[in-house]
Chain A
Protein backbone atom coordinates (compact mmCIF):
# COMPACT_ATOMS: atom_id res chain seq x y z
CA UNK A 1 0.00 0.00 0.00
CA UNK A 2 2.63 2.58 1.06
CA UNK A 3 4.87 1.68 -1.84
CA UNK A 4 2.02 2.33 -4.24
CA UNK A 5 1.42 5.74 -2.66
CA UNK A 6 5.13 6.57 -2.87
CA UNK A 7 5.27 5.54 -6.53
CA UNK A 8 2.32 7.72 -7.37
CA UNK A 9 3.56 10.82 -5.54
CA UNK A 10 6.03 12.10 -8.17
CA UNK A 11 3.37 12.00 -10.86
CA UNK A 12 1.06 14.07 -8.79
CA UNK A 13 3.21 16.95 -7.60
CA UNK A 14 0.28 19.30 -7.12
CA UNK A 15 -1.00 17.03 -4.36
CA UNK A 16 2.33 16.76 -2.58
CA UNK A 17 1.17 18.69 0.46
CA UNK A 18 -2.11 16.94 1.04
CA UNK A 19 -0.33 13.60 0.58
CA UNK A 20 2.23 14.34 3.29
CA UNK A 21 -0.51 15.72 5.52
CA UNK A 22 -2.41 12.56 4.83
CA UNK A 23 0.67 10.56 5.70
CA UNK A 24 1.09 12.35 9.02
CA UNK A 25 -2.53 11.67 9.73
CA UNK A 26 -1.99 8.02 8.87
CA UNK A 27 0.92 7.83 11.25
CA UNK A 28 -1.06 9.49 14.05
CA UNK A 29 -4.29 7.64 13.40
CA UNK A 30 -3.46 4.39 15.25
CA UNK A 31 -2.46 6.35 18.34
CA UNK A 32 -5.60 8.45 18.22
CA UNK A 33 -7.70 5.30 18.01
CA UNK A 34 -5.81 3.63 20.85
CA UNK A 35 -5.62 6.72 23.05
CA UNK A 36 -8.92 6.33 24.91
CA UNK A 37 -8.24 2.68 25.75
CA UNK A 38 -4.60 3.25 26.63
CA UNK A 39 -5.42 6.19 28.90
CA UNK A 40 -8.07 4.17 30.71
CA UNK A 41 -5.88 1.08 31.00
CA UNK A 42 -3.11 3.24 32.40
CA UNK A 43 -5.42 4.96 34.88
CA UNK A 44 -7.18 1.85 36.18
CA UNK A 45 -4.74 -1.01 35.66
CA UNK A 46 -1.11 -0.01 35.28
CA UNK A 47 -0.80 3.11 37.43
CA UNK A 48 -2.74 1.42 40.27
CA UNK A 49 -0.16 -1.36 40.30
CA UNK A 50 2.54 1.27 40.71
CA UNK A 51 0.41 2.90 43.35
CA UNK A 52 0.00 -0.26 45.46
CA UNK A 53 3.70 -0.97 45.06
CA UNK A 54 4.49 2.51 46.38
CA UNK A 55 1.89 2.39 49.13
CA UNK A 56 3.05 -1.03 50.25
CA UNK A 57 6.42 0.56 51.09
CA UNK A 58 4.99 3.55 52.93
CA UNK A 59 2.90 4.26 55.95
CA UNK A 60 0.84 7.23 57.03
CA UNK A 61 0.31 7.05 60.78
CA UNK A 62 -2.82 8.86 61.97
CA UNK A 63 -0.94 10.67 64.75
CA UNK A 64 1.38 12.62 62.47
CA UNK A 65 -0.42 12.39 59.13
CA UNK A 66 2.97 12.35 57.41
CA UNK A 67 3.82 9.69 54.84
CA UNK A 68 6.87 7.71 55.87
CA UNK A 69 8.98 5.23 53.97
CA UNK A 70 8.86 2.02 55.95
CA UNK A 71 10.66 -0.38 53.62
CA UNK A 72 9.23 -3.86 53.97
CA UNK A 73 7.54 -2.92 57.24
CA UNK A 74 4.05 -3.42 55.83
CA UNK A 75 5.00 -6.87 54.58
CA UNK A 76 6.40 -7.96 57.94
CA UNK A 77 3.28 -6.57 59.62
CA UNK A 78 1.19 -8.45 57.05
CA UNK A 79 2.83 -11.79 57.69
CA UNK A 80 2.76 -11.18 61.43
CA UNK A 81 -1.01 -10.75 61.19
CA UNK A 82 -2.62 -14.13 61.94
CA UNK A 83 -5.75 -13.07 60.10
CA UNK A 84 -3.71 -12.70 56.91
CA UNK A 85 -1.79 -15.96 57.14
CA UNK A 86 -5.06 -17.70 57.87
CA UNK A 87 -6.67 -16.03 54.87
CA UNK A 88 -3.88 -17.40 52.69
CA UNK A 89 -4.38 -20.87 54.16
CA UNK A 90 -8.14 -20.54 53.68
CA UNK A 91 -7.62 -19.49 50.09
CA UNK A 92 -5.45 -22.56 49.45
CA UNK A 93 -8.12 -24.86 50.93
CA UNK A 94 -10.75 -22.98 48.95
CA UNK A 95 -8.73 -23.47 45.75
CA UNK A 96 -8.17 -27.15 46.46
CA UNK A 97 -11.87 -27.58 47.25
CA UNK A 98 -13.32 -25.67 44.33
CA UNK A 99 -10.97 -25.96 41.36
CA UNK A 100 -10.56 -29.75 40.84
CA UNK A 101 -14.15 -30.51 41.83
CA UNK A 102 -15.76 -27.93 39.56
CA UNK A 103 -13.48 -28.84 36.65
CA UNK A 104 -14.10 -32.58 36.99
CA UNK A 105 -17.85 -32.00 37.19
CA UNK A 106 -17.61 -29.67 34.21
CA UNK A 107 -15.95 -32.38 32.12
CA UNK A 108 -18.47 -35.02 33.21
CA UNK A 109 -21.37 -32.68 32.45
CA UNK A 110 -19.90 -31.87 29.05
CA UNK A 111 -19.49 -35.54 28.19
CA UNK A 112 -23.04 -36.27 29.32
CA UNK A 113 -24.75 -33.48 27.38
CA UNK A 114 -22.44 -33.14 24.37
CA UNK A 115 -24.85 -34.58 21.82
CA UNK A 116 -27.20 -31.93 20.47
CA UNK A 117 -30.61 -33.23 21.52
CA UNK A 118 -33.53 -31.33 22.94
CA UNK A 119 -33.15 -33.08 26.30
CA UNK A 120 -29.48 -32.10 26.43
CA UNK A 121 -30.26 -28.49 25.53
CA UNK A 122 -32.50 -28.27 28.59
CA UNK A 123 -29.87 -30.00 30.74
CA UNK A 124 -27.22 -27.54 29.57
CA UNK A 125 -29.43 -24.57 30.39
CA UNK A 126 -30.13 -25.91 33.88
CA UNK A 127 -26.46 -26.60 34.58
CA UNK A 128 -25.48 -23.22 33.21
CA UNK A 129 -28.02 -21.15 35.04
CA UNK A 130 -26.16 -20.82 38.37
CA UNK A 131 -23.29 -19.12 36.57
CA UNK A 132 -25.64 -16.55 35.03
CA UNK A 133 -27.00 -15.10 38.28
CA UNK A 134 -25.09 -12.71 40.54
CA UNK A 135 -23.00 -14.40 43.21
CA UNK A 136 -24.83 -12.15 45.67
CA UNK A 137 -28.18 -13.61 44.58
CA UNK A 138 -26.80 -17.14 44.93
CA UNK A 139 -25.49 -16.25 48.37
CA UNK A 140 -28.80 -14.82 49.51
CA UNK A 141 -30.56 -18.03 48.46
CA UNK A 142 -28.07 -20.07 50.43
CA UNK A 143 -28.87 -17.97 53.48
CA UNK A 144 -32.04 -19.96 53.76
CA UNK A 145 -30.75 -23.20 52.25
CA UNK A 146 -28.04 -23.42 54.93
CA UNK A 147 -30.29 -22.24 57.75
CA UNK A 148 -29.83 -24.67 60.67
CA UNK A 149 -32.89 -26.75 61.50
CA UNK A 150 -35.60 -25.34 59.22
CA UNK A 151 -33.51 -24.56 56.11
CA UNK A 152 -33.87 -26.40 52.82
CA UNK A 153 -30.81 -28.56 53.43
CA UNK A 154 -31.60 -29.64 56.95
CA UNK A 155 -35.29 -30.09 56.11
CA UNK A 156 -34.59 -32.63 53.39
CA UNK A 157 -31.60 -34.21 55.13
CA UNK A 158 -33.85 -34.87 58.13
CA UNK A 159 -36.25 -36.71 55.82
CA UNK A 160 -33.33 -38.93 54.82
CA UNK A 161 -32.48 -39.40 58.48
CA UNK A 162 -29.25 -37.39 58.25
CA UNK A 163 -28.50 -34.78 60.88
CA UNK A 164 -27.51 -31.46 59.39
CA UNK A 165 -24.79 -29.12 60.54
CA UNK A 166 -24.48 -25.48 61.42
CA UNK A 167 -23.47 -24.90 57.83
CA UNK A 168 -22.33 -21.28 58.14
CA UNK A 169 -21.83 -21.02 61.90
CA UNK A 170 -19.39 -23.86 62.52
CA UNK A 171 -15.74 -22.89 61.85
CA UNK A 172 -14.99 -26.42 60.65
CA UNK A 173 -17.84 -26.44 58.16
CA UNK A 174 -18.40 -22.87 56.95
CA UNK A 175 -15.57 -22.74 54.40
CA UNK A 176 -16.78 -26.02 52.90
CA UNK A 177 -20.28 -24.60 52.61
CA UNK A 178 -18.86 -21.70 50.58
CA UNK A 179 -16.86 -24.18 48.51
CA UNK A 180 -20.11 -26.00 47.78
CA UNK A 181 -21.75 -22.79 46.57
CA UNK A 182 -18.78 -22.03 44.33
CA UNK A 183 -18.70 -25.49 42.75
CA UNK A 184 -22.44 -25.31 42.16
CA UNK A 185 -22.08 -21.89 40.60
CA UNK A 186 -19.03 -22.43 38.38
CA UNK A 187 -19.17 -26.04 37.15
CA UNK A 188 -21.73 -25.22 34.46
CA UNK A 189 -19.67 -22.31 33.21
CA UNK A 190 -16.54 -24.42 32.85
CA UNK A 191 -18.67 -27.08 31.14
CA UNK A 192 -19.05 -24.67 28.22
CA UNK A 193 -15.32 -24.77 27.53
CA UNK A 194 -15.24 -28.56 27.67
CA UNK A 195 -18.22 -28.70 25.32
CA UNK A 196 -16.28 -26.51 22.90
CA UNK A 197 -13.14 -28.61 23.41
CA UNK A 198 -15.01 -31.85 22.75
CA UNK A 199 -16.20 -30.64 19.35
CA UNK A 200 -12.56 -30.29 18.28
CA UNK A 201 -11.66 -33.90 19.11
CA UNK A 202 -10.91 -35.95 16.00
CA UNK A 203 -13.74 -38.47 15.68
CA UNK A 204 -11.54 -41.09 14.01
CA UNK A 205 -9.22 -41.25 17.03
CA UNK A 206 -12.14 -42.03 19.31
CA UNK A 207 -13.44 -44.62 16.87
CA UNK A 208 -10.01 -46.21 16.59
CA UNK A 209 -9.84 -46.43 20.39
CA UNK A 210 -13.26 -48.08 20.47
CA UNK A 211 -12.33 -50.57 17.75
CA UNK A 212 -9.11 -51.37 19.64
CA UNK A 213 -11.30 -52.44 22.53
CA UNK A 214 -11.04 -49.46 24.84
CA UNK A 215 -13.92 -49.25 27.27
CA UNK A 216 -15.54 -45.94 28.17
CA UNK A 217 -13.21 -45.32 31.13
CA UNK A 218 -10.07 -46.07 29.12
CA UNK A 219 -11.27 -43.82 26.30
CA UNK A 220 -11.76 -41.02 28.81
CA UNK A 221 -8.51 -41.60 30.67
CA UNK A 222 -6.16 -42.23 27.76
CA UNK A 223 -7.73 -40.43 24.81
CA UNK A 224 -10.19 -37.70 25.74
CA UNK A 225 -8.48 -36.19 28.78
CA UNK A 226 -5.02 -35.92 27.13
CA UNK A 227 -6.52 -34.42 23.98
CA UNK A 228 -8.41 -31.87 26.06
CA UNK A 229 -5.27 -30.68 27.86
CA UNK A 230 -5.27 -27.20 26.22
CA UNK A 231 -8.89 -26.68 27.29
CA UNK A 232 -8.07 -27.88 30.79
CA UNK A 233 -5.16 -25.42 31.04
CA UNK A 234 -7.43 -22.60 29.89
CA UNK A 235 -10.20 -23.49 32.35
CA UNK A 236 -7.63 -23.87 35.13
CA UNK A 237 -6.46 -20.28 34.62
CA UNK A 238 -10.02 -18.95 34.76
CA UNK A 239 -10.78 -21.05 37.83
CA UNK A 240 -7.67 -19.78 39.62
CA UNK A 241 -8.52 -16.18 38.80
CA UNK A 242 -12.01 -16.77 40.22
CA UNK A 243 -10.53 -18.22 43.39
CA UNK A 244 -8.64 -15.00 43.97
CA UNK A 245 -11.24 -12.46 42.84
CA UNK A 246 -14.67 -13.65 43.98
CA UNK A 247 -15.64 -12.92 47.57
CA UNK A 248 -19.22 -11.66 47.23
CA UNK A 249 -20.57 -14.75 48.99
CA UNK A 250 -18.12 -14.25 51.87
CA UNK A 251 -19.29 -10.66 52.31
CA UNK A 252 -22.98 -11.60 52.31
CA UNK A 253 -22.94 -14.90 54.19
CA UNK A 254 -20.12 -15.00 56.72
CA UNK A 255 -18.05 -11.78 56.72
CA UNK A 256 -14.99 -13.97 57.02
CA UNK A 257 -16.24 -15.66 60.16
CA UNK A 258 -16.82 -17.65 62.27
CA UNK A 259 -13.40 -17.00 63.83
CA UNK A 260 -11.77 -16.11 60.48
CA UNK A 261 -12.52 -19.56 59.06
CA UNK A 262 -13.91 -18.18 55.77
CA UNK A 263 -11.66 -15.16 55.40
CA UNK A 264 -10.22 -15.24 51.87
CA UNK A 265 -7.34 -12.99 50.80
CA UNK A 266 -9.45 -10.51 48.84
CA UNK A 267 -11.89 -10.26 51.73
CA UNK A 268 -8.95 -9.56 54.02
CA UNK A 269 -7.80 -6.78 51.66
CA UNK A 270 -11.31 -5.34 51.53
CA UNK A 271 -11.57 -5.42 55.31
CA UNK A 272 -8.16 -3.84 55.92
CA UNK A 273 -8.78 -1.02 53.47
CA UNK A 274 -12.47 -0.40 54.02
CA UNK A 275 -12.94 -1.07 57.70
CA UNK A 276 -9.56 -0.79 59.38
CA UNK A 277 -8.10 1.86 57.04
CA UNK A 278 -4.81 -0.07 57.13
CA UNK A 279 -3.85 0.92 53.59
CA UNK A 280 -0.24 -0.21 53.92
CA UNK A 281 -1.19 -3.78 54.71
CA UNK A 282 -3.98 -3.75 52.15
CA UNK A 283 -1.53 -2.51 49.51
CA UNK A 284 1.06 -5.13 50.40
CA UNK A 285 -1.52 -7.92 50.18
CA UNK A 286 -2.85 -6.48 46.90
CA UNK A 287 0.61 -6.44 45.37
CA UNK A 288 1.16 -10.09 46.36
CA UNK A 289 -2.14 -11.01 44.67
CA UNK A 290 -1.21 -9.02 41.58
CA UNK A 291 2.17 -10.80 41.45
CA UNK A 292 0.43 -14.15 41.61
CA UNK A 293 -1.86 -13.19 38.73
CA UNK A 294 1.09 -11.89 36.71
CA UNK A 295 2.91 -15.19 37.22
CA UNK A 296 -0.26 -16.98 36.19
CA UNK A 297 -0.50 -14.81 33.08
CA UNK A 298 2.98 -15.83 31.96
CA UNK A 299 1.78 -19.42 32.11
CA UNK A 300 -1.52 -18.65 30.47
CA UNK A 301 -0.43 -16.37 27.61
CA UNK A 302 1.10 -19.50 26.18
CA UNK A 303 -1.98 -21.62 26.67
CA UNK A 304 -4.53 -18.87 26.08
CA UNK A 305 -4.18 -18.64 22.32
CA UNK A 306 -4.57 -22.39 22.07
CA UNK A 307 -7.44 -22.40 24.55
CA UNK A 308 -9.20 -19.47 22.92
CA UNK A 309 -8.70 -21.18 19.60
CA UNK A 310 -10.23 -24.37 20.95
CA UNK A 311 -13.08 -22.36 22.45
CA UNK A 312 -13.99 -20.63 19.20
Chain B
Protein backbone atom coordinates (compact mmCIF):
# COMPACT_ATOMS: atom_id res chain seq x y z
CA UNK B 1 0.00 0.00 0.00
CA UNK B 2 2.57 2.50 1.11
CA UNK B 3 4.95 1.36 -1.61
CA UNK B 4 2.19 1.80 -4.13
CA UNK B 5 1.31 5.33 -3.08
CA UNK B 6 5.00 6.06 -2.86
CA UNK B 7 5.60 5.04 -6.46
CA UNK B 8 2.49 6.91 -7.55
CA UNK B 9 3.74 9.92 -5.71
CA UNK B 10 7.15 9.79 -7.34
CA UNK B 11 5.54 9.24 -10.75
CA UNK B 12 3.39 12.33 -10.36
CA UNK B 13 6.45 14.21 -9.13
CA UNK B 14 8.33 13.08 -12.22
CA UNK B 15 5.56 14.16 -14.57
CA UNK B 16 5.27 17.38 -12.60
CA UNK B 17 8.95 18.03 -13.10
CA UNK B 18 8.62 17.19 -16.77
CA UNK B 19 5.72 19.60 -17.07
CA UNK B 20 7.78 22.24 -15.32
CA UNK B 21 10.61 21.72 -17.74
CA UNK B 22 8.36 21.96 -20.80
CA UNK B 23 6.74 25.07 -19.32
CA UNK B 24 10.23 26.59 -19.08
CA UNK B 25 10.97 25.68 -22.70
CA UNK B 26 7.70 27.29 -23.80
CA UNK B 27 8.47 30.41 -21.76
CA UNK B 28 11.93 30.58 -23.34
CA UNK B 29 10.54 30.23 -26.86
CA UNK B 30 7.92 32.85 -26.09
CA UNK B 31 10.55 35.27 -24.80
CA UNK B 32 12.54 34.85 -28.02
CA UNK B 33 9.41 35.30 -30.15
CA UNK B 34 8.41 38.35 -28.15
CA UNK B 35 11.86 39.84 -28.67
CA UNK B 36 11.72 39.24 -32.42
CA UNK B 37 8.14 40.53 -32.52
CA UNK B 38 9.06 43.76 -30.80
CA UNK B 39 12.31 44.52 -32.67
CA UNK B 40 10.61 47.01 -35.04
CA UNK B 41 9.45 48.98 -32.01
CA UNK B 42 12.74 48.62 -30.17
CA UNK B 43 14.50 49.91 -33.24
CA UNK B 44 12.14 52.89 -33.49
CA UNK B 45 12.73 53.77 -29.88
CA UNK B 46 16.52 53.47 -30.15
CA UNK B 47 16.80 55.16 -33.54
CA UNK B 48 14.57 58.11 -32.74
CA UNK B 49 16.84 59.29 -29.90
CA UNK B 50 20.06 58.59 -31.83
CA UNK B 51 22.14 61.60 -32.86
CA UNK B 52 22.48 62.03 -36.61
CA UNK B 53 25.05 59.78 -38.22
CA UNK B 54 26.68 60.18 -41.59
CA UNK B 55 24.81 58.33 -44.31
CA UNK B 56 22.81 56.18 -41.90
CA UNK B 57 25.79 54.10 -40.80
CA UNK B 58 25.09 52.30 -37.53
CA UNK B 59 21.40 53.16 -37.74
CA UNK B 60 20.47 49.49 -37.70
CA UNK B 61 21.97 48.89 -34.27
CA UNK B 62 19.46 48.03 -31.57
CA UNK B 63 21.89 49.16 -28.87
CA UNK B 64 21.44 52.65 -27.48
CA UNK B 65 25.21 53.32 -27.56
CA UNK B 66 24.91 57.11 -27.68
CA UNK B 67 23.91 60.19 -25.74
CA UNK B 68 20.15 60.59 -26.38
CA UNK B 69 19.01 63.66 -28.27
CA UNK B 70 15.62 65.16 -29.03
CA UNK B 71 16.83 66.63 -32.33
CA UNK B 72 14.92 64.12 -34.42
CA UNK B 73 11.65 64.98 -32.72
CA UNK B 74 12.31 68.70 -33.06
CA UNK B 75 13.08 68.26 -36.77
CA UNK B 76 10.04 66.09 -37.26
CA UNK B 77 7.82 68.73 -35.73
CA UNK B 78 9.42 71.45 -37.85
CA UNK B 79 9.39 69.66 -41.17
CA UNK B 80 6.17 67.70 -40.80
CA UNK B 81 3.48 69.95 -39.31
CA UNK B 82 2.74 67.19 -36.83
CA UNK B 83 0.84 69.58 -34.56
CA UNK B 84 -1.69 70.24 -37.35
CA UNK B 85 -1.93 66.50 -38.11
CA UNK B 86 -2.59 65.71 -34.45
CA UNK B 87 -5.44 68.22 -34.27
CA UNK B 88 -6.99 66.99 -37.54
CA UNK B 89 -6.75 63.34 -36.53
CA UNK B 90 -8.28 64.09 -33.14
CA UNK B 91 -11.14 66.01 -34.79
CA UNK B 92 -11.81 63.10 -37.13
CA UNK B 93 -11.56 60.31 -34.53
CA UNK B 94 -13.50 62.06 -31.75
CA UNK B 95 -15.95 63.68 -34.15
CA UNK B 96 -16.89 60.31 -35.62
CA UNK B 97 -17.20 58.80 -32.16
CA UNK B 98 -19.44 61.60 -30.85
CA UNK B 99 -21.95 61.19 -33.67
CA UNK B 100 -21.72 57.41 -33.57
CA UNK B 101 -22.63 57.30 -29.90
CA UNK B 102 -25.88 59.11 -30.68
CA UNK B 103 -26.78 57.02 -33.73
CA UNK B 104 -25.88 53.64 -32.22
CA UNK B 105 -27.62 54.35 -28.90
CA UNK B 106 -30.87 55.30 -30.64
CA UNK B 107 -30.78 52.40 -33.10
CA UNK B 108 -29.58 49.93 -30.46
CA UNK B 109 -32.45 51.00 -28.20
CA UNK B 110 -34.97 50.52 -31.01
CA UNK B 111 -33.70 47.00 -31.72
CA UNK B 112 -33.41 45.99 -28.08
CA UNK B 113 -36.58 47.46 -26.61
CA UNK B 114 -39.17 48.28 -29.24
CA UNK B 115 -41.16 45.90 -31.38
CA UNK B 116 -42.12 46.97 -34.88
CA UNK B 117 -42.90 45.26 -38.15
CA UNK B 118 -39.82 44.24 -40.14
CA UNK B 119 -37.46 44.43 -37.18
CA UNK B 120 -35.59 41.23 -38.06
CA UNK B 121 -35.19 42.20 -41.72
CA UNK B 122 -33.88 45.64 -40.87
CA UNK B 123 -31.49 44.15 -38.35
CA UNK B 124 -30.06 42.01 -41.15
CA UNK B 125 -29.71 45.14 -43.29
CA UNK B 126 -27.51 46.48 -40.51
CA UNK B 127 -25.56 43.25 -40.06
CA UNK B 128 -24.71 43.04 -43.73
CA UNK B 129 -22.83 46.30 -43.44
CA UNK B 130 -20.38 44.56 -41.09
CA UNK B 131 -19.08 42.70 -44.12
CA UNK B 132 -19.19 45.56 -46.59
CA UNK B 133 -16.40 47.42 -44.88
CA UNK B 134 -15.97 50.96 -46.21
CA UNK B 135 -12.58 50.55 -47.96
CA UNK B 136 -14.25 48.39 -50.60
CA UNK B 137 -16.59 51.26 -51.50
CA UNK B 138 -14.05 54.09 -51.63
CA UNK B 139 -14.70 54.84 -55.29
CA UNK B 140 -18.48 55.47 -55.18
CA UNK B 141 -18.26 57.01 -51.70
CA UNK B 142 -15.74 59.55 -52.91
CA UNK B 143 -18.18 60.62 -55.60
CA UNK B 144 -20.94 60.93 -53.02
CA UNK B 145 -18.67 63.11 -50.91
CA UNK B 146 -17.93 65.27 -53.96
CA UNK B 147 -21.67 65.54 -54.70
CA UNK B 148 -22.32 66.62 -51.11
CA UNK B 149 -19.67 69.32 -51.45
CA UNK B 150 -17.57 67.75 -48.71
CA UNK B 151 -14.50 66.92 -50.82
CA UNK B 152 -11.32 68.08 -49.12
CA UNK B 153 -12.96 68.57 -45.72
CA UNK B 154 -12.61 66.61 -42.50
CA UNK B 155 -16.40 66.26 -42.49
CA UNK B 156 -16.06 64.34 -45.74
CA UNK B 157 -13.67 61.91 -44.06
CA UNK B 158 -16.05 61.44 -41.15
CA UNK B 159 -19.44 61.23 -42.87
CA UNK B 160 -19.39 57.58 -44.04
CA UNK B 161 -18.69 56.43 -40.48
CA UNK B 162 -21.41 58.31 -38.63
CA UNK B 163 -23.57 55.19 -38.58
CA UNK B 164 -22.04 51.97 -37.32
CA UNK B 165 -23.58 48.56 -37.77
CA UNK B 166 -21.09 47.12 -35.34
CA UNK B 167 -21.89 49.75 -32.73
CA UNK B 168 -25.62 49.22 -33.16
CA UNK B 169 -25.13 45.48 -32.76
CA UNK B 170 -23.03 46.04 -29.64
CA UNK B 171 -25.52 48.47 -28.06
CA UNK B 172 -28.43 46.14 -28.82
CA UNK B 173 -26.63 43.31 -27.03
CA UNK B 174 -25.69 45.56 -24.12
CA UNK B 175 -29.20 46.98 -23.67
CA UNK B 176 -30.71 43.51 -23.86
CA UNK B 177 -28.60 42.38 -20.94
CA UNK B 178 -30.07 45.11 -18.71
CA UNK B 179 -33.25 43.95 -16.97
CA UNK B 180 -36.34 45.84 -18.12
CA UNK B 181 -37.40 46.53 -14.53
CA UNK B 182 -34.96 49.41 -14.26
CA UNK B 183 -36.50 51.52 -17.04
CA UNK B 184 -40.02 50.41 -16.23
CA UNK B 185 -39.56 51.85 -12.76
CA UNK B 186 -38.44 55.11 -14.35
CA UNK B 187 -41.35 55.10 -16.81
CA UNK B 188 -43.86 54.57 -13.98
CA UNK B 189 -42.29 57.59 -12.32
CA UNK B 190 -43.32 59.56 -15.41
CA UNK B 191 -40.16 59.45 -17.49
CA UNK B 192 -40.51 59.07 -21.26
CA UNK B 193 -38.30 56.79 -23.36
CA UNK B 194 -35.64 59.44 -23.90
CA UNK B 195 -35.18 60.02 -20.20
CA UNK B 196 -35.16 56.28 -19.54
CA UNK B 197 -32.48 55.83 -22.22
CA UNK B 198 -30.38 58.75 -21.04
CA UNK B 199 -30.66 58.34 -17.28
CA UNK B 200 -31.09 54.59 -16.89
CA UNK B 201 -29.85 52.57 -19.85
CA UNK B 202 -26.83 54.53 -21.03
CA UNK B 203 -25.16 54.74 -17.60
CA UNK B 204 -25.61 50.97 -17.26
CA UNK B 205 -24.27 50.39 -20.77
CA UNK B 206 -20.95 52.04 -19.94
CA UNK B 207 -18.78 48.92 -20.47
CA UNK B 208 -20.23 48.45 -23.94
CA UNK B 209 -19.78 52.13 -24.74
CA UNK B 210 -16.16 52.09 -23.58
CA UNK B 211 -15.47 48.98 -25.64
CA UNK B 212 -16.99 50.55 -28.71
CA UNK B 213 -15.20 53.87 -28.16
CA UNK B 214 -11.77 52.25 -27.95
CA UNK B 215 -12.32 50.22 -31.09
CA UNK B 216 -13.75 53.17 -33.00
CA UNK B 217 -11.06 55.64 -31.92
CA UNK B 218 -8.31 53.23 -32.84
CA UNK B 219 -9.82 52.34 -36.21
CA UNK B 220 -10.15 55.97 -37.25
CA UNK B 221 -6.88 57.15 -35.72
CA UNK B 222 -5.18 54.51 -37.86
CA UNK B 223 -7.10 54.98 -41.06
CA UNK B 224 -5.20 55.99 -44.17
CA UNK B 225 -6.64 55.18 -47.59
CA UNK B 226 -9.99 56.96 -47.21
CA UNK B 227 -8.62 60.23 -45.76
CA UNK B 228 -5.90 60.11 -48.42
CA UNK B 229 -8.57 60.10 -51.10
CA UNK B 230 -10.77 62.79 -49.55
CA UNK B 231 -8.21 65.31 -48.29
CA UNK B 232 -6.33 67.32 -50.87
CA UNK B 233 -4.48 69.96 -48.90
CA UNK B 234 -1.65 69.59 -46.36
CA UNK B 235 -3.45 71.76 -43.79
CA UNK B 236 -6.26 69.18 -43.56
CA UNK B 237 -4.03 66.09 -43.52
CA UNK B 238 -4.25 63.53 -40.76
CA UNK B 239 -1.34 61.83 -39.00
CA UNK B 240 -1.27 58.77 -41.23
CA UNK B 241 -1.17 60.88 -44.41
CA UNK B 242 1.44 63.12 -42.84
CA UNK B 243 3.55 60.15 -41.89
CA UNK B 244 3.29 58.57 -45.34
CA UNK B 245 4.33 61.84 -47.01
CA UNK B 246 7.08 62.18 -44.46
CA UNK B 247 8.29 58.61 -45.06
CA UNK B 248 8.43 59.15 -48.80
CA UNK B 249 10.39 62.38 -48.41
CA UNK B 250 12.87 61.06 -45.83
CA UNK B 251 13.51 57.93 -47.87
CA UNK B 252 15.42 60.02 -50.38
CA UNK B 253 17.26 61.94 -47.68
CA UNK B 254 18.16 58.83 -45.69
CA UNK B 255 17.20 60.57 -42.48
CA UNK B 256 16.17 57.41 -40.70
CA UNK B 257 16.31 58.86 -37.22
CA UNK B 258 13.84 61.50 -38.35
CA UNK B 259 11.51 58.86 -39.80
CA UNK B 260 11.73 56.83 -36.59
CA UNK B 261 10.86 59.91 -34.55
CA UNK B 262 7.94 60.74 -36.84
CA UNK B 263 6.61 57.20 -36.59
CA UNK B 264 6.96 57.25 -32.83
CA UNK B 265 5.00 60.51 -32.71
CA UNK B 266 2.15 58.84 -34.58
CA UNK B 267 2.20 55.73 -32.42
CA UNK B 268 2.72 57.43 -29.05
CA UNK B 269 -0.93 58.27 -28.26
CA UNK B 270 -1.94 54.70 -29.08
CA UNK B 271 0.88 53.32 -26.99
CA UNK B 272 -0.26 55.46 -24.08
CA UNK B 273 -3.93 54.59 -24.50
CA UNK B 274 -3.04 50.91 -24.74
CA UNK B 275 -0.91 51.07 -21.59
CA UNK B 276 -3.74 52.70 -19.62
CA UNK B 277 -6.64 50.66 -20.96
CA UNK B 278 -4.87 47.38 -21.74
CA UNK B 279 -7.55 45.24 -20.12
CA UNK B 280 -10.43 47.07 -21.79
CA UNK B 281 -8.60 46.99 -25.09
CA UNK B 282 -8.20 43.25 -24.99
CA UNK B 283 -11.85 42.76 -24.04
CA UNK B 284 -13.12 45.30 -26.55
CA UNK B 285 -11.20 43.89 -29.45
CA UNK B 286 -12.22 40.38 -28.58
CA UNK B 287 -15.77 41.60 -28.60
CA UNK B 288 -15.31 43.69 -31.68
CA UNK B 289 -13.95 41.29 -34.20
CA UNK B 290 -14.89 43.62 -36.95
CA UNK B 291 -13.48 47.05 -36.58
CA UNK B 292 -15.41 50.28 -36.08
Contacts and interface: CB of A to CB of B under 8 A. Distances in A.
A47 B141 CA distance: 9
Given A41-B165, A44-B159, A241 B290 contact: yes
A134 B240 contact: yes
B125 interface: yes
Contact of B243 (A122, A136, A144): A136
Interface string A175-196: 0000000001000110011011
Task: Tell me what chain B mostly uses at the interface: helix, strand, loop, or mixed.
Answer: helix
Contacts of B224: 134-136, 248, 251
12 contacts: A30-B110, A34-B122, A112-B29, A145-B40, A192-B285, A251-B228, A266-B225, A269-B138, A270-B229, A286-B139, A308-B289, A311-B287
Nearest to A248: B224
B178 interface: no
B131 interface: yes
Interface stretch (B5-13, B66-74, B198-206, B260-268): B260-268
B30 A112 contact: yes
B135 to A, nearest CB: 4
A133 B239 CA distance: 12
B157 interface: no
A248 B40 CA distance: 18
Interface in B121-151: 122, 124-144
A123 B278 CA distance: 13
Contacts of B132: 45, 49, 290, 293-294, 297
Nearest to A154: B60
Interface stretch (A81-89, A94-102, A124-132): A124-132
B139 A273 contact: yes
A145 B43 contact: yes
A213 to B, nearest CB: 12
A290 B135 CA distance: 10
A49 B33 CA distance: 43
Contact of A37 (B103, B114, B229, B270): B103
B57 to A, nearest CB: 7
Interface residues of A, number: 95
B164 to A, nearest CB: 8
B77 interface: no
B92 interface: no
A15 interface: no
A283 B267 CA distance: 34
Contact of B140 (A52, A124, A293): A52
A37 B107 contact: yes
Given A33-B110, A293-B136, A123 B30 contact: yes
B261 to A, nearest CB: 11
A247 to B, nearest CB: 7
